[in-house]
Amino acid sequence: MRHALAAFALFALTLPAMRAVAQVNPYKDGTPGLTGYRSEVMAEVMIQEDKFLRLAEAIPADKYTWRPAPDVRSVAEVFLHVSAANFNVYKLVGTPAPAGLDIRTLEKSTSDKAKVMATLKDSFAHARKAITAMPDADLEKSLDWFGGKNTERGVLLFIVRHAAEHLGQSIAYARMIGVVPPWTEEMQKQQAGAKGKQ
C-alpha cells in the first residue's frame, strides 16, 4: 500500500511538468467539431501523430534503414507501415485511400527521411479527415472482420491500438540507436531546470 501511495504522490508531482511539456493536448484544447466517441478517438490520434512526427524528426536520416534483426521492419518501414494502415483501414469507415496510392508496396517504398515523414504526416491527415467525416450513427454498423464481426466503433479502436503498438516499437528502436524521445528529453531538461532552482 505504501508503494502505491508513493507512486501516486510521485505521479501527482510530475503531472504538471508532463502537461507543460506536451506539444499537443486535445484533452485541454479539444477536438473541434467532434463530441463523444469520435472525439475521444480523435484525441488519441492527434497525440499519436504528434509523437510519431516528433520521433521521426529526431531520428537521424542515416538510421532510417536500421533494424534490430534481419527479419523485422526497419525504422522507415515501421513509420510507413503505420502510414499504410492509416490510409487503408479508414476505408472501412467510409474514407478510401487516395487514388493511385499502392498500399501493398508503401511500407518498402522508400527509406528517405523527408519522404517517410511526408507520408506519415499525410496519413495522419487522412485519419483525422476520416474520423471527422464519419457519422456517429455509423459507429454501431457491423462489418466482417478477420473471420468474425466488428463494428465501425471497433475499427476505430483497432486503428488506435495498432498505431500505439508501433509507437512503442518506434520508441524502442529510437532508444536502441541512442535517440531519446523528444518529449522525454524535454521533461528531463525541465526537471533538471527545476532542481537547479531549488
pLDDT tens, the chain, 198 aa long: 444 444 444 444 444 444 444 468 888 888 888 989 999 999 999 999 999 999 999 999 999 999 999 999 999 999 999 999 999 999 999 999 999 999 999 999 999 999 999 999 999 999 999 999 999 999 999 999 999 999 999 999 999 999 999 999 999 999 999 999 999 988 888 888 777 776
Asked if 74 and 173 count as a contact pair (C-beta separation under 8 A), the reply is no
Cell numbers that stand for 132 in this block: 471527422
Please name the helix (run of DSSP H) or strand (run of DSSP E) that holds residue 144, with its range, or none.
strand 142-145
**pLDDT (0 to 100) of residue 1:** 46
* C-alpha closest to that of 76 among 103, 106, 97, 50: 106
Q: Determine the pLDDT at residue 49.
A: 97
φ and ψ at residue 166, rounded to 5 degrees? -80, -20
Alpha-carbon dihedral 155, 157, 162, 163, rounded to 10 degrees: 110
pTM for this one? 0.85
Q: Cell numbers at residue 193, please?
A: 531546470
Residue whose C-alpha cell reads 511500407 in the numeric block: 107
> What pLDDT, on the 0 to 100 scale, is given for residue 28?
86
Q: What pLDDT is attached to residue 24?
A: 80
99: Cβ–Cβ under 8 A, 6 or more apart, which residues? Answer: none
Question: Which helix (H) or strand (E) segment is 143 a member of?
Answer: strand 142-145
- Report the b/e string of 68-89 with b at 16+ CB within 10 A: eeeeebbbbbbbbbbbbbbbbb
Which of these CATH numbers, 2.40.340.10, 3.40.50.10440, 1.20.120.450, 3.40.1190.20, describes 27-181? 1.20.120.450
Domain boundaries, the chain: 27-181
For strand 142-145 and strand 148-151, is the pairing parallel, antiparallel, or unpaired?
antiparallel
